[in-house]
Amino acid sequence: MTSPEGQFEPLMHAAIAQARLAEADGDVPIGAVIERGGKIIAVARNRRIIDRDPTAHAEMIALRAAAQAVGDWRLTGCTLAVTLEPCCMCAGAAILARIDRLVYGAADPKAGAVTTLYQICSDDRLNHRVEVIPGVLADACGQLLTDFFRKQRAMGKK
């Protein structure tokens, strides 16, 4: 029997493919996709290096693309899948966009704002809450990051 998380593995594989593109661009390998009605409507990867933009996280770019695809800033009925647990900015943006569900791979012990350091998506004080499915293909997502930062350290980069 497939676990409930198993149904989100195809989305996470698509996000991992985006993460690999980010790495090829020299950026931290984080990818995101947004699905609505069984169809992927947005794909994105980290672009902070290329765009010279501290807000060019995969989730932010995917949310913008999905809003354009839907023709509305409200992304109800959508699932955001991302390879790394979102930070405060990205978790907040998911709430503001009215995303129904957030699926992520690896937990982020340094900046995770969904379940690790903060629980922004489930905060009762906010006007919207997002269903969270953590740990989908977590090992594969985490390995991408581990390998990337190992290479960065070997090259003398932070």
Catalytic residue list: 59
Residues whose CB falls within 8 Å of the CB of residue 90, separated by 6 or more in sequence, listed in order? 57, 59, 60, 82, 113
For every residue of 112-124, DSSP letters joined together read: -TTTTS--GGG-T
Alpha helices in the chain (DSSP H): 9-24, 48-51, 58-70, 88-96, 138-154
Q: Is the CB of residue 78 less than 8 Å from the CB of residue 41?
A: yes
Q: What distance in Å separates the CA atoms of residue 138 and residue 10, rounded to the nearest whole number? A: 13
Q: What distance in Å separates the CA atoms of residue 131 and residue 101, rounded to the nearest whole number? A: 5
Q: Which of 24, 37, 133, 33 is nearest to 76 (CA)?
A: 37
